[in-house]
């Protein structure tokens, strides 16, 4: 059963459709990410669910209950804001206890709940942490307090608005892992807003790629990455090479795409004849000096135009005719690094099954 | 060797002398026009005035505490000091009550903010004297308010609203209100709106969000505005002297009366110092009290 359901929800700001007839179901205990560029409406969706905004049209349900005309303070939500929004005049303990005090929870129960929440977010070990004020905490610690404050009231839904945006990379990765573990542990339905594709892929059970107030593709991370439904989703997540041209069926098996640059590449058979675009992830392309790697059914020759060393992999820009193709080569141990230099003749090969053919 | 001028200026800026250099102009004005005159007044307050046989004023340049002894022995002076403090405190309280909602709405306003701000500041564009005469027209025996009260049948005889304590309270509160609103608004505006949402998300209704988050966070502004209004009200002269009609005595009017009317400079100087010390004591005490509300950023 869906824990959170949006039915044809729209939100207009003046003439701008921030959210456009969006429908979405989030299952009990699911971790769902709203992923998209800034201005795609993902934060608006979150604020609609929280009740800080009223939908222009459509209806929102939490646990089957319509949220129409239910103010935010009567919804059972836990929200973590981008800038944490900790109360600066309250210390850690009072920040976490805020929601419980509003609910007039008795002193003893309150103390136990606050202590447990601080433990849950791994803040209990720090010296006198309860007495510290938000400005005395590091970004990561503030993040944990914000999370504890949201979780201590045992909300039905946890809403997170780019919670890790302000943290440095290392800390962000650590917090991501902890959040994921925590979410699994307590099994809370979670809706997570981010513009960071990697973060969305790591954390989510399902990802909703959003553009212009609509969901472009909703699915598990692997599906989003490997079989993106739309050109936009394919482009937004990961990197890809685009081949545009016309699909032609010859006498033999399969279909060929005659690209605008004059290449003819093999494409999956289900592609209809006519103008088309296919995409290819840079890491799906093998680069070699002469013989093509086995398993590949497409082989093209080119010249290395640029080499970029990126640690975990090497990025080559390879020129095929007038087309520049981006290739990632994994930095596997042993071999010499950066084998090819600009100007080297190389052979690129890939499997046509790995081509992405988004429908729109 | 010494670097460029820019470098030297940079190093100068970093030194503590730069702080002094920054405040020096205003400091010299303060010393010349405030500190030295106040010290001279202090000196005067230790002298005595005698009236000669021909009515001429003679200043006895003998140091004594006679003036202060006169103050301490006089219930009349004490009452005036008390009335002054009560007036200033009442005005401060009225400004808090009337100013907070205005400052709050102003801090939330978007489209009309500029115009609303202008309206709050509008009283400053008119001289205090003119404004006070305006109040006299409105509050007088045959004024607008009494006409309305009589016409509506709420009262049978005009209510005295002017040339008394009430009139002074109304006039002074009107003058002080912008100071409170501006000070409060500056603090309220800085309170992050997402804090209200955070509170609401945690189950706080609008009133709870206000009383538990906005209000505590606005306390520094409330304290600053109150201190400002109190300090200004305690020594305000024009409005009480006009609105009081010479019947209500406050420290400022009595200082004027002693100095200009009685030509008793030593006595006027003594009263000025009594007022100064009392005001500083009240401000100091409230600062101590305010520290309990303080949180560090």
- B217 to chain A, any CB pair closer than 8 A? The answer is yes
CA–CA distance, B191 with B198 (Å, rounded to integer): 13
pLDDT band at A167 (very low <50, low <70, confident <90, very high): confident
- Residue from B193, B202, B293 to probe the interface with A (highest A Cβ count within 10 Å): B202
Assign B9 a pLDDT band (cuts: 50, 70, 90): low
Position B294 scores a pLDDT of 60
Q: Is pLDDT of A73 > 80?
A: yes
Average pLDDT of the segment spanning A27-51: 94
Whether the CA torsion A181, A182, A187, A193 is positive or negative: it is negative
Find, among A249, A247, A252, A216, the residue nearest to A234 by Cα. A216
Determine what percent of chain B is predicted with pLDDT higher than 90: 59
Prediction pTM value: 0.81
Q: Which one of A13, A62, A67, A72 makes the best mutation probe of the B interface by having the most chain B beta carbons within 10 Å?
A: A72
Q: Residue A243: what are its φ and ψ, rounded to 5°?
A: -120, 120
Which distant-in-sequence residues (6+ apart) come within 8 Å of B279 by Cβ?
A: B230, B231, B234, B235
Whether the pLDDT of residue A42 is over 90: the answer is: yes
Contact yes or no for A355/A267 (Cβ under 8 A) = yes
For the record, the structure tokens of A72 come out as 């935010």
Domain annotation for chain B: domains and CATH numbers: 47-296 (1.10.3720.10)
Q: What's the pLDDT at B263?
A: 87
Please calculate the CA angle B221-B224-B229 and round it to the nearest 5 degrees. Answer: 120
B52 pLDDT band (50/70/90 cuts)? confident
pLDDT-derived band at B148 (thresholds 50, 70, 90) equals: very high
- Tell me, what's the ipTM? 0.82
Burial A305-319 (b: 16+ CB within 10 A, else e): eebeeeeebbbbbbe
Task: Give the tokens for residue B113.
Answer: 């903010």
Q: Kindly report the average pLDDT of chain B as a whole number.
A: 89
Which helix or strand (DSSP H or E) is residue A57 part of? strand A57-62
DSSP H or E run through A325: strand A323-330
The residue in chain B having the minimum alpha-carbon distance to the alpha carbon of residue A97 is: B202
Contacts 24+ apart (CB under 8 A), B48-53: B48/B266, B49/B263, B49/B264, B49/B265, B49/B266, B49/B267
Identify the pLDDT of residue A328. Answer: 92
Between chain A and chain B, how many beta carbons pairs sit less than 8 Å apart? Answer: 70
Q: What whole-number distance in Å separates Cα of residue A225 and Cα of residue A238?
A: 7
Distance between CA atoms of A154 and A172, rounded to whole angstroms? 24
* Tokens 């935010």, residue located: A72
Q: For the purposes of burial, counting CB atoms within 10 Å of the CB of B297, is it exposed (0-12), middle (13-18) or buried (19 or more)?
A: exposed
Round to whole Å and give the CA distance between B38 and B111: 47
Give one DSSP letter per residue of A118-156, joined into a string: HHHTT-TTSTTGGG--GGGS-HHHHHHHHHHHHHTT--S
Whether B200 and chain A come into contact, CB under 8 Å, resolves to yes
* DSSP state for residue A221 in the 8-state scheme: H
Contact (CB<8Å) B197/A87: no
The model's confidence at residue A99, banded by pLDDT at 50, 70 and 90, is very high
CA distance A295 to A310: 27
Residue B7: both structure tokens together: 């470098």
Cβ–Cβ < 8 Å for A349, A293: yes
Contact in structure between A266 and A297 (CB atoms under 8 Å):
yes
Judged on CB neighbours under 10 Å (0-12, 13-18, 19+), B191 is: middle
Model pLDDT for residues A205-216, shown as the tens digit of each residue = 999 999 999 999
- Phi and psi for A200 in degrees, rounded to 5? -65, -40
Choose the closest CB to A77 out of B201, B209, B297. Answer: B201
Tell me, what's the pLDDT at B92? 97
Distance from C-alpha of A143 to C-alpha of A80, rounded to nearest angstrom: 8
Query: Which DSSP letter does residue A292 get?
Result: P
Mean pLDDT check: name the lowest of A255-269, B81-95, B136-150: A255-269
Instruction: Give B-chain residues touching A85 at CB under 8 angstroms.
Output: 192, 194-195, 197-198
Per the CB < 8 A criterion, the answer to whether A81 and B202 are in contact is no
In chain B, residues with a C-beta closer than 8 Å to the C-beta of A135 are: 296-297
C-alpha of B47 from chain center: 30
* Helices B5-14 & B17-30 angle (0-180, nearest 10): 70
- Give which of A47, A39, A41, A81 is closest to A67, Cα–Cα: A47
B287 vs B211, more confident: B211
SS3 A229: coil
Mutate which of B200, B201, B204, B294 to disrupt the A interface (most A C-beta within 10 Å)?
Answer: B201
Evaluate if residue B286 carries a pLDDT over 90: no
Residue A292, pLDDT above cutoff 80: no
Measured between beta carbons, the chain A residues lying within 8 angstroms of B215 are none
Sign of CA dihedral A43, A46, A51, A57: positive
Question: What's the per-residue H, E or C state across B85-142?
Answer: HHHHHHHHHHHHHHHHHHHHHHHHCCCCHHHHHHHHHHHHHCCHHHHHHHHHHHHCCC
Give the rounded percent of residues in chain A with a pLDDT score beyond 70.
96
Query: How distant is the Cα of B209 from the closest Cα of chain A, in angstroms?
Result: 10
Q: What is the dihedral of CA A245, A248, A254, A259, to 10 degrees?
A: -20
Residue A296 pLDDT? 82
**pLDDT above 60 for A106:** yes
Q: Are A45 and A22 in contact (CB under 8 A)?
A: yes
- From chain A, the residues in CB contact with B208 under 8 A are 73, 102
CB A327 within 8 A of CB A288: no
In the predicted model, is pLDDT for residue B296 greater than 60? no
Encode pLDDT of A128-146 as tens digits: 888 999 999 988 899 999 9
pLDDT computed for residue B297 by the predictor: 39
Look at chain A and count its residues: 360
Contacts of B99 (CB under 8 A, 6+ apart): B177, B180, B181, B184, B225
Query: Rounded distance, CA B87 to CA B97, Å?
Result: 15
pLDDT of residue B1: 45
Which tens digits make up the pLDDT trace of A297-337? 888 889 999 999 888 888 999 999 888 999 998 887 766 55
pLDDT of B53-76, one tens digit each?
A: 887 888 888 899 999 999 999 999
**Do residues A4 and A26 lie in contact, with contact meaning Cβ atoms separated by under 8 Å?**
yes
Average pLDDT, chain A: 89
**Taking CB atoms and an 8 Å limit, are A87 and B205 in contact across chains?**
no
- For the stretch B101-110, pLDDT in tens is 999 999 988 8
3-class DSSP assignment, residue A281:
coil
């Amino acid at each position: 059963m869906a824990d959170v359901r949006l039915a044809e929800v729209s939100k207009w700001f003046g003439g701008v459709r921030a959210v456009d007839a969006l429908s979405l179901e989030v299952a009990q205990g699911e971790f769902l990410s709203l992923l998209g560029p800034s201005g795609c409406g993902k934060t608006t969706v979150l604020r609609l669910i929280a009740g800080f905004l009223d939908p222009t049209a459509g209806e929102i349900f939490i646990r089957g209950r319509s949220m129409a005309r239910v103010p935010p303070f009567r919804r059972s939500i836990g929200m973590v804001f981008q800038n944490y929004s900790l109360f600066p005049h309250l210390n850690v303990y009072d920040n976490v206890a805020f929601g419980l005090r509003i609910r007039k929870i008795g002193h003893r129960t309150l103390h136990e709940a606050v202590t447990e929440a601080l433990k849950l977010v791994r803040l209990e070990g720090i010296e006198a942490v309860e007495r510290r004020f938000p400005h005395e905490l590091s970004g990561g610690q503030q993040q944990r307090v914000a999370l504890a404050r949201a979780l201590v009231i045992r909300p039905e839904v946890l809403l997170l608005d780019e919670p890790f945006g302000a943290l440095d990379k290392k800390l962000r990765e650590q917090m991501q892992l902890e959040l994921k573990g925590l979410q699994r542990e307590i099994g809370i339905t979670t809706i997570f807003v981010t513009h960071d594709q990697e973060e969305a892929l790591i954390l989510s059970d399902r990802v909703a790629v959003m553009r212009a107030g609509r969901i472009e593709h909703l699915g598990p991370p692997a599906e989003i990455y490997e079989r993106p439904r739309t050109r936009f989703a394919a482009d937004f997540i990961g990197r890809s090479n685009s081949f545009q041209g016309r699909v032609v069926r010859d006498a033999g098996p399969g279909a060929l795409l005659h690209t605008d640059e004059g290449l003819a590449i093999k494409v999956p058979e289900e592609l209809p004849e006519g103008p088309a675009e296919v995409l290819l992830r840079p890491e799906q392309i093998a680069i070699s000096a002469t013989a093509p790697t086995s398993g590949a059914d497409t082989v093209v020759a080119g010249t290395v135009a640029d080499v970029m060393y990126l640690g975990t992999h090497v990025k080559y820009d390879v020129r095929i005719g007038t087309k520049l193709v981006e290739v990632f080569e994994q930095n596997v141990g042993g071999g010499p690094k950066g084998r090819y230099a600009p100007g080297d003749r190389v052979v690129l090969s890939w499997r046509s099954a790995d081509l992405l053919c988004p429908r729109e | 060797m010494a670097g460029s001028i820019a470098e030297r200026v940079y190093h100068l800026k970093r030194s503590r002398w730069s702080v002094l250099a920054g405040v020096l102009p205003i400091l010299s004005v303060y010393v010349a026009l405030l500190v030295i005159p106040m010290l001279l007044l202090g000196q005067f307050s230790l002298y005595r005035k005698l009236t000669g046989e021909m009515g001429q004023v003679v200043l006895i340049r003998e140091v004594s505490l006679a003036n202060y002894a006169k103050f301490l022995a006089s219930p009349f002076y004490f009452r005036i000091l008390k009335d002054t403090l009560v007036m200033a405190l009442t005005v401060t309280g009225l400004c808090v009550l009337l100013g907070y909602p205005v400052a709050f709405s102003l801090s939330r306003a978007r489209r009309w903010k500029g115009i609303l701000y202008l309206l709050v500041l509008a009283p400053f564009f008119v001289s205090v004297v003119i404004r006070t005469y305006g109040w006299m027209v409105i509050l007088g025996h045959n004024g607008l308010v009494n006409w309305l009260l009589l016409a509506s049948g709420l009262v049978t005889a005009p209510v005295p609203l002017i040339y008394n304590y009430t009139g002074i309270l109304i006039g002074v509160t009107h003058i002080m209100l912008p100071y409170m609103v501006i000070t409060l608004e500056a603090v309220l505006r800085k309170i992050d709106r997402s804090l209200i949402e955070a509170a609401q998300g945690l189950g706080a209704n609008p009133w709870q969000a206000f009383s538990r988050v906005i209000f505590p966070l606005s306390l520094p502004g409330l304290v600053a505005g109150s201190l400002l209004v109190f300090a200004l009200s305690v020594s305000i002269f024009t409005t009480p002297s006009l609105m009081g009609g010479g019947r209500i005595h406050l420290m400022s009017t009595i200082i004027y009366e002693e100095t200009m009317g009685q030509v008793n400079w030593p006595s006027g100087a003594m009263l000025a110092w009594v007022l100064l010390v009392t005001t500083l004591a009240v401000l100091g005490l409230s600062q101590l009290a305010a520290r309990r509300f303080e949180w560090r950023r």
